[in-house]
Amino acid sequence: MLNHFPLIVFFSGLVILLEAEAQPPKSSNETEIDHKVTELLSRMSMEEKVGQMSQVAIDVILKDNSSTQLDPQKLRKAIIEKKVGSILNVKGGAYTLDEWHNILSQIQELATKETPNSIPVLYGIDAIHGSNYIRGGTLFPHNIGMAATRNLDLAGETAHITALETRASGIRWNFDPVLGMGREPLWSRFEETFGEDVYLTSKMGAKMISAYEKDNLNKIDAVASCMKHFIGYSVPGSGKDRTPSYIPERQLREIFLPPFQAAVEAGTSTVMINSGEVNGVPVHASSYFLKTILREELGFEGLAVSDWEDIKRLHTRHKIAATLKEAVKIAVNAGVDMSMIPYDYSFYDYLVELVKEGEVDIARIDEAVGRILKLKIELGLFENAFPEKNSQDNFGEKKYTQVAKQAALESITLLKNESDVLPLSVNKKLLIAGPCANSLPALHGSWSFTWQGDDASRYPESTQTVVEAFENTYGRSNIISRSHSDFDHNDNYDTQGLLEDAALVDAIVLCLGENAYAESPGGIDDLTLDDRQLELAKAAEKTGKPIVLILLQGRPRVIASIEEKMDAILYGYRPGSQGASALVEVVTGRFNPAGRLPFTYPRATGDVLLYDHKFSETISEDIPNLFGKDAYRPQWTFGHGLSYSTFNYSDLKLNKEFIQSENDTIRASVKVTNAGKVGGHHTVELYLRDQYASVTPSNKKLKRFKKIYLEPNATEEVTFSLTKKDLSFVGLNNEWVTEPGEFEVLIADLSSTFNYQE
């Protein structure tokens, strides 16, 4: 709120200092770990220390590109000669549990038996939406779908299962979750984010981190988590992966930092660094980001690892280092603790030289290696570096499939349902068409048994496509489909065939969207869905039959040209291994959809205006000096999501008219009634609007949400509490402030105001 003398409620350095002073003394276990680290460092040679900072891909120790067999000589070079401390990834695709055990056992046998200090290797993997690099592993919806569930407990459960299955393989470090803000839908890693909202991303990320790590990393149900990618990676100016971002300091602190602050508070053990640059400075080279903000302001004490080959790219791409050796010097001195090299030992060789030459201080090496050793101790690797036999029973339990199914069900978002076309009776005859109808990759997306997720042969035989799931429920005789498993196959776009088949059915289920992709290969120039899919939809419209459009895609592809002609639209995101059967349950009405969009769905590719926009962004000027408020017109807004029930809101009440002190709380309560004929889940969302402020306020911001279940005619009163902290923003001096004035609470179509007074 507007005030000429704003009250500063947050100054990062001061807050961290006060928190540090208020912390209790270290536990005996922490003191013991610190002692072990110090003792180990005192025994290690400089070369051993540098080796601990080196991470290579499994490729460099395999016999050949098509094998899961390790080459003994290559392995000895990595562990004995180059003293490598960490290995990552798979070659080709997911390995079986036995293959993982064999690989890790050979690595640890050499590391613990034949190196001077018997330091085990730390193995890392990208288990992004389940144990996606273990054959037969459970795959959940991607983070963008989990955000649509608005179910924190369910998100935590999926992360815990991922930890159990990952640990069962012998791997103890997971490069997840992605905490970049999904505010640039062109970006090819959008599906890995929790969407565009700061509060939702912070809550989801923190919950998953807590579930990954539990209370003790040295347990068979825990893995080290990795908050990534710090910071600003997800909003490249071009929309292309690993390209520059331009983020003003105020926006950086208000939108992009809070999820990482929440992750630190949740106890994340590691951080992975943004591959790109922010405001002209590669993050791998920025002591401001990696020391001042990450360490001093956020208070992060864990391990900082580079992303794939990104130290080299300071020379080859970013052009801030004249040589590869200079790139190593810049990155290590900036605050990178471990280099994901990943295909050679150049980092090791250059860093050894740099230390000998005095260009990198040994104290900096000890700092980095101390963090690495501490994590290895916390993970129990020094006690038992080998795959734990008692963890193997935690792989592939039937209850995991049930959780995957529930996650998929709760993520599915009903965007449109004209004339209550849905649910569809199981007695109807259906045409299932489109490139996503018979595609397993479209259901799963990136990081699904392969990096790109596009190899259907890698998926378990029990995994159903959408066509197969409909056949299982409706019977094969009631399903017609020409759809091919190859996304680009001409049969998937056969408009004439669709017209012929439509004459034989009661309704059309059109499955459109995106094939699987990961990172840079998924780059696009236009959000608009491709022409062949749009033409297929237009052909379906000509039949006059009811059309149910199912969207399976990692980001919102523009469908404005066909949306009006679709009778019902379901957004499935990347629902995972149980996604097809979950979609059928929603279509048939066995499950009442309750997902809510975690992003704004744009109407045009050049008009991506987010829900927390500024007031002036909604203003249009058709002719000089004639203004309107119609510039914000997305296809669907953030938080949109329909149901087969009708939920009515009433009696929004605030328990007081103003708040004053730091610890003062205001409670907002509202009654929610299920006025429909079927029970259903429903998420109640509270937004806050700052009416006037010294920095232009956002239209509104999500501050609280709660998911409830109501039977028909049932009513529940939902209560939220807000504090002074919820009213704050990053002010003129780029510090968090709260200013006196009026605030508006918005829940559904109800609103009420209160004041903050100093």
Residue type, 614: K
Q: What angle do CA 220, 221, 223 make, to 5 degrees?
A: 90
**Beta strands 658-659 and 750-756, pairing class:** parallel
Distances (CA, A) of 255 to 204, 235, 532: 15, 11, 37
C-alpha closest to that of 191 among 518, 438, 413, 415: 518
Distances (CA, A) of 493 to 438, 445, 490: 13, 21, 5
Contact 202, 214 (CB under 8 A): no
Residue type, 419: S
Catalytic residue among 126, 197, 241, 307: 307
Pure H helices in 419-464? 440-444
C-alpha closest to that of 378 among 214, 156, 159: 214
Six-digit token string for 670: 């509202």
C-alpha closest to that of 480 among 496, 463, 494, 498: 498
C-alpha span between 188 and 70 (Å, rounded):
33
The dihedrals phi and psi of 366, each to the nearest 5 degrees, come to -60, -40
Contact 348, 50 (CB under 8 A): yes
End-to-end CA distance of the chain: 11
H or E stretch covering 105: helix 97-113
Laid out side by side, the sheet with 122-125 consists of 173-174, 122-125, 86-88, 54-57, 339-340
How many CB atoms sit inside 10 A of residue 419's CB?
8
C-alpha span between 365 and 340 (Å, rounded):
16
Distances (CA, A) of 700 to 200, 228, 618, 638: 14, 27, 13, 11
For residue 387, whether the previous peptide bond is cis, meaning omega lies within 30 degrees of 0, is: no
| Residues in Cβ contact with 108 at an 8 Å cutoff, skipping those fewer than 6 apart | 120, 121, 385, 386
Distances (CA, A) of 630 to 63, 185, 241, 618, 627: 62, 22, 32, 6, 9
C-alpha span between 193 and 129 (Å, rounded):
11
Q: From the centroid of its chain, how far is CA 402?
A: 22
Q: At what angle do helices 198-213 and 258-266 cross, to 10 degrees?
A: 20
The dihedrals phi and psi of 11, each to the nearest 5 degrees, come to -130, 115
Q: Is 526 a catalytic residue?
A: no
Distances (CA, A) of 575 to 330, 405, 681: 41, 9, 18
Which residues are the active-site residues?
A: 307
